[in-house]
Amino acid sequence: MKRNVTKLLLFTAIIFTFLLLISCEQDDNNNENKKDIIEQIEPCINLELKYILLDSSFKSIPYTKIDKKLHFIDSLNNEVVFEVVQRERKFYSTTGGEIKCPSDNSKKINVEAEVDNYSMWLVSDSDEVDIKFLISLQATLGLAKDYAFVYDRLDIIAFPKKESGNNISYIDIQVNQRENNYFSSSNNFYKPIDSINLKGKIFYNVYHNPWTVKGYMCYNYEFGLIAFKDSSGKLWILKTN
């Protein structure tokens, strides 16, 4: 009798183990099937991003909170006055292009972004100068090596005062680079010089475009636009005191 009971228990244990193994295998198969289904239904969704200017980037513009007038003089001490006008901050849409879809390298997705822009104009009513300046700070979207990247850039652009159309010259500065920045070792942007002597006045950490025939400009973070040449080639220098 005891032998029969032992056989019965052993048989039951074998059956239970067998059923357990089958159940585990089915669960594994179900999990794999679920994974396959998820991968199949996961769409290659276009990226819609939003980039805000870093607070530290605003240090590149000394005109953000002041309404003072800017006085420039030439070699004969003639003076012209510029004002900061039309300050504006807004977001606008930009398209970076295409990158590979993370879930399917054979497909492409579009990358679009809302980017932050802060701009203003420096203008003068004087007939002595025929030039105006756009100061524009913006978060900029780019694509490289199948990933999106962003950096904050500052553009100082000279335009004819009374004409619309193409700019005369510009200086573009990479103010802040962020993670995975393709331009981290790039020479695409203007680099500052340690100092410059302008008619006896020394300014430090200056960005300038010395090879420009028209629209020569000097700019630094402390004073902003510190010098420029008008279309006649006359040099105007900022009065700092």
DSSP 153: E
pLDDT at 31 over 90: no
Q: Which residue has the tokens 């009374």?
A: 162
**C-alpha–C-alpha distance, residues 63 and 98, integer Å:** 37
pLDDT at 107 over 60: yes
pLDDT at 44: 63
What's at 131, amino acid-wise? Answer: I
In this structure, are strands 235-238 and 70-73 parallel, antiparallel, or unpaired? antiparallel
| Closest listed residue to residue 140, CA positions, set 49, 47, 46 | 49
Give the pLDDT band (50/70/90) at residue 235: very high
Judge whether 22 lies within some domain. no
Give the pLDDT band (50/70/90) at residue 36: very low
Please, is 235 exposed, middle or buried when counting C-beta atoms within 10 Å of its C-beta (0-12, 13-18, 19+)? middle
pLDDT at 29: 45
Judge whether 5 lies within some domain. no
Above pLDDT 90, what percent of the chain? Answer: 44
The predicted model gives 212-236 an average pLDDT of: 92
**C-alpha–C-alpha distance, residues 131 and 217, integer Å:** 11
Report the predicted TM-score, pTM, of the whole model to 2 decimal places.
0.74
CB 183 within 8 A of CB 189: yes
**C-alpha–C-alpha distance, residues 85 and 133, integer Å:** 10
pLDDT at 2: 45
Residues of the domain holding 62: 47-238
Q: Which residue has the tokens 């970076």?
A: 96
pLDDT at 40: 37
Judge whether 195 lies within some domain. yes
Give 175-207 pLDDT, tens digit per residue.
987 765 554 445 578 899 999 999 899 999 999
Judge whether 13 lies within some domain. no
Q: Which residue has the tokens 């006896």?
A: 200
Judge whether 3 lies within some domain. no
CB 99 within 8 A of CB 108: yes
CB 234 within 8 A of CB 164: no
Judge whether 146 lies within some domain. yes
Domain total of the chain: 1
Q: What are phi and psi of 15, to 5 degrees?
A: -60, -45
The enclosing H or E element of 9 equals: helix 2-41
Identity of the highest mean pLDDT range in 14-18, 100-104, 123-127, 214-218 = 123-127
Give 54-68 pLDDT, tens digit per residue.
999 999 999 977 677
CB 57 within 8 A of CB 176: yes
pLDDT at 172: 93
Judge whether 19 lies within some domain. no
Identity of the highest mean pLDDT range in 6-10, 80-84, 146-150, 189-193 = 80-84
**Sign of the CA dihedral running 60, 134, 81, 218:** positive
Rg (CA), the chain: 32
Give 9-30 pLDDT, tens digit per residue.
555 555 555 555 545 554 444 4
Mean pLDDT of the chain: 79
**C-alpha–C-alpha distance, residues 204 and 195, integer Å:** 4
pLDDT at 216 over 60: yes
Judge whether 206 lies within some domain. yes
